[in-house]
Amino acid sequence: MAFISSGYNPSKPMEGRISDIGPRHFSEFLPPVIAKNFGKWEYHEILEPGVLCHTAESGDKAYTVRCGSARLVSVSYVRELCDIADKFCGGHLRFTTRNNVEFILDDKQAALDLKAYLNSQKFEGGSYKFPVGGTGAGVTNIVHTQGWVHCHTPATDASGTVKVTMDAVFDQFQDMKLPAPVRISMACCLNMCGAVHCSDIAILGVHRKPPLIDHEYLDNLCEIPLAVAACPTGAVRPTKVELEGKTYKTVAIKEERCMFCGNCYTMCPSLPLSDGEGDGIAIMVGGKISNRITKPSFSKVVVPFVPNEPPRWPTMTKVIKKILEVYAEEANKYERLGDWANRIGWERFFEKCELEFSAHLIDDFRDPAYYTWRQTTQFKW
Amino acid sequence: MAVVEFQGSSFEVDEDGFLQKFEDWTPLWVDFVKESEGIKEISEDHQKVIDFLQDYYKKNGIAPMVRILSKVTGFKLKQIYELFPSGPGKGACKMAGLPKPTGCV
């Protein structure tokens, strides 16, 4: 397409430049019923999966219809959301912290009509466009990352793994029959953008091979001390190599000390490590961020590796489904996945979920690893 | 990798316009880059920042942290942005011929 100027003048870049204005204030976008009753809510109830009702001191009621979204969406999808908001909600809508979409109405029948309408909308391939759900003790949307769509350090894909996982647990999205909410999160490398370290079930991209070293270019493209300092295990050290009679400043990596975190590649483009067969997924469980009953906790690794199997990742979805099924059957009401595993003991958790326990799962990272071992005789056979 | 020509010299650059090799840097490079970085004329202050970045990189193998740049040159971050509208990384480091900043930027 031919170039169309927005009015910006490249020869005077600072002229007419607007900066530091921040985001728009949220109050500009509130639906009237929310603006009127702001800070004056009495109680709320979940009418049915995906539909909430908040009652204000004034007696006003706000009905919220929550539907899933793929997070990675096109402008035409957003326009469709806007069309729905125009038609049913006076042009208002909001996104949740897990990237679901919420429509707020002040009439119950209209809200139920909207739910039926949203559930009837489908893409050409047959998937729901706006499946209603994600409330109460179910599985809501998966917080995830960029994957092969946009990032340069991933060990797996985000959108793909999330789609297959949501397909596998879709019933739980549209229902509220679990003991407590189950948060599933996904990160495509162990930078852990998002919430994998604190989710009930977490999908994490991992490498299994050390980086390749591009000696010829390394000193030109990288600040060597940064690559050295990026390593959590001290496996990277500066060195010199001779290639075809020329000496290059570069780094050496002690492979037996490397645990394939990829931090050095983040700092230095000459240390790539992604690998078709080596890369895959680790599954973690038992994290949470709320303070309810028990303190917030980190998720723990329970499956060190499942291979990348695009486009449907069958091994990964099987493991996740199994964990979710056993948890749904065994846990007490209000018990989050981690609370349940802690109560029955992790050896029981592995037994019930039929997961293999391997040496990879035993913490060996610095002094704190010691505290994860069992210093008691209390265990079950 | 792309090669750009400027007043008879050629420079090897990446897609963001950073020099591929620090040794390729010449004062001509600054003249070539300044326009794309929104700088009309290279003042003494500009030169002071560029010189310091190069000295620091030669000595330490890394670009200085922003606070070190400020402390040594005496320019507050605001003044650095006034000199280099794209900032110390994209603007000053690029003009000084340092490698492209990495990490989650």
Q: pLDDT tens digits for A350-365? A: 999 999 999 999 999 9
Q: List Cβ neighbours of A248 (8 Å cut-off, separation of 6 or more).
A: A215, A216, A218, A219, A240, A241, A242
* Closest CB to B38 among A14, A220, A223: A14
pLDDT at A220: 95
The predicted-structure confidence for A196-221, as pLDDT tens digits, reads as follows 999 999 999 999 999 999 999 999 99
Could you confirm whether domain A26-120 is CATH 3.30.70.3340? yes
Q: Which chain B residues are Cβ-neighbours of A225 within 8 angstroms? A: 60-62
Mean pLDDT of A78-105: 97
Band (B69; pLDDT cuts 50, 70, 90):
very high
* Closest CB to B102 among A191, A220, A266: A266
| Plot region of A145 (φ>0 → left; ψ -120 to 50 → alpha; else → beta) | beta
Q: To which CATH superfamily is domain A158-208+276-372 assigned? A: Sulfite Reductase Hemoprotein, domain 1 (3.30.413.10)
Using CB atoms within 10 A of its CB, is residue A328 exposed (0-12), middle (13-18) or buried (19+)? Answer: middle
Model-level pTM? 0.94
Band (A39; pLDDT cuts 50, 70, 90):
very high
pLDDT at A110: 97
Residues A187 and A156: their CA atoms lie apart, in Å, by: 8
CA distance B74 to chain A (A): 24
Residues A324 and A180: their CA atoms lie apart, in Å, by: 11
- Pick the residue of B22, B33, B62 with the most A CBs within 10 A to test the interface with A by mutation: B62
pLDDT at B11: 95
Buried b (16+ CB within 10 A) or exposed e, A127-164: ebbbbbbbbbbbbbbbbbbbbbeebebbbbbbbbbbbb
The predicted-structure confidence for A114-156, as pLDDT tens digits, reads as follows 999 999 999 999 999 999 999 999 999 999 999 999 999 999 9
Band (A239; pLDDT cuts 50, 70, 90):
very high
Mean pLDDT of B61-79: 97
Is any Cβ of chain B less than 8 angstroms from the Cβ of A16?
no
In contact, A263 and A232? CB cutoff 8 Å: yes
Query: What architecture (CATH level 2) is domain B2-96?
Result: Orthogonal Bundle (1.10)
pLDDT at A8: 95
pLDDT at A208: 98
Band (A30; pLDDT cuts 50, 70, 90):
very high
Nearest chain B alpha carbon to A222: B99
Contact B102 A268 (CB under 8 A): yes
The predicted-structure confidence for A15-26, as pLDDT tens digits, reads as follows 999 999 999 999
pLDDT at A212: 97
CB atoms within 10 A of CB A10: 9
R_g of chain B, CA atoms, integer Å: 13
Q: Which of B35, B41, B78, B104 is catalytic?
A: B104
pLDDT at B1 over 90: no
Is any Cβ of chain B less than 8 angstroms from the Cβ of A9?
no
pLDDT at A347: 97
Question: Is residue B93 annotated as part of the catalytic site, yes or no?
Answer: no
CATH number of A217-267: 3.30.70.20
What is the token pair recorded at A91?
A: 């042009």
Question: In percent, how much of chain A has pLDDT > 70?
Answer: 100
* Closest CB to A223 among B38, B61, B85: B61
Is any Cβ of chain B less than 8 angstroms from the Cβ of A268?
yes
Q: Where are the domains of chain A?
A: 26-120, 158-208+276-372, 217-267
pLDDT at B44: 97
Band (B105; pLDDT cuts 50, 70, 90):
confident
